[in-house]
Amino acid sequence: MSRAVPTYHQRVALEKRALIVTAATALFLELGYDRTSLARVAERSGVSRATLFKQFPSKAALFDAIVTESWSTADEEDPPPAGNVVDGLRAIGRRYAELLSRPQMTDLFRIVIAELPRFPELANAQFSHGKMPYFESVRSYLLAEHEAGTVRIDDVDLAATQFLGMISNYIFWPTLLVPGWQVSAQRAAQVVDEAVRTIAARYAATDPGPSTND
């Protein structure tokens, strides 16, 4: 019985946190980062100012939370084990495609792009708290595959950029420019599979053997 109370309070706190983040994202899009006050966020989310300030003492801290939650996945497990680069990249790629397909990801980038001239720190937060940690997880996986001998990759940073870029260039970036751009789940799976095949073929570890001209 003693453990039920903190569990309940934790659940309530998480629910209120979600309401705050959702309200703040909507207000940043609607009014801009500068014109959105924490008091307005508290009013929109339906929580007291004391509750909001307890979780987010500043607007910057609130934006950092939006970035972190936008880039978080439901399955925060470690990258797939090395040994089968096709299966591993497919799992990573599908997770990435799902992440990019979320409306809040598009919202986040729109906020950053709109406010970049006046608030470059928002872009820094997006890069350091969101994109780079995710990129590093993919880079680490490819490095593990290279060390396991399943692929040969001299420039792991470039390989990770190529893989993620093939997925995001089709699934995500058009959403910022093309009204109503949508990618079906079937098409997204196809995009991921083609990216996996391209990387697997480009960095295959098989030795082609001596040239016939030797």
The pLDDT value recorded for residue 92 is 94
As a whole number, mean pLDDT of residues 62-86 equals 81
Tell me: the pLDDT tens digits for 97-142? 999 998 889 988 999 999 989 899 999 888 887 888 889 989 999 9
CB-CB neighbours of 10 under 10 Å: 10
Mean pLDDT for the chain overall: 88
Query: Which domains are seen in the chain, by residue range?
Result: 4-57 (1.10.10.60), 70-202 (1.10.357.10)
The pLDDT value recorded for residue 6 is 55
Tell me: the pLDDT tens digits for 181-202? 899 999 999 999 999 999 999 9
Q: Which two tokens stand for residue 123?
A: 């872009």
Residue % of the chain over a pLDDT of 90: 60
The pLDDT value recorded for residue 133 is 85
102: left (phi over 0), alpha (psi -120 to 50) or beta: beta
**One-letter amino acid for residue 176 of the chain:** L
The pLDDT value recorded for residue 213 is 43
DSSP letter string, 163-184: HHHHHHHHHTGGGGTSTT----
The pLDDT value recorded for residue 200 is 96
The pLDDT value recorded for residue 91 is 94
Q: Which two tokens stand for residue 128?
A: 């350091």
Contact present, 71 and 130 (Cβ < 8 Å):
yes
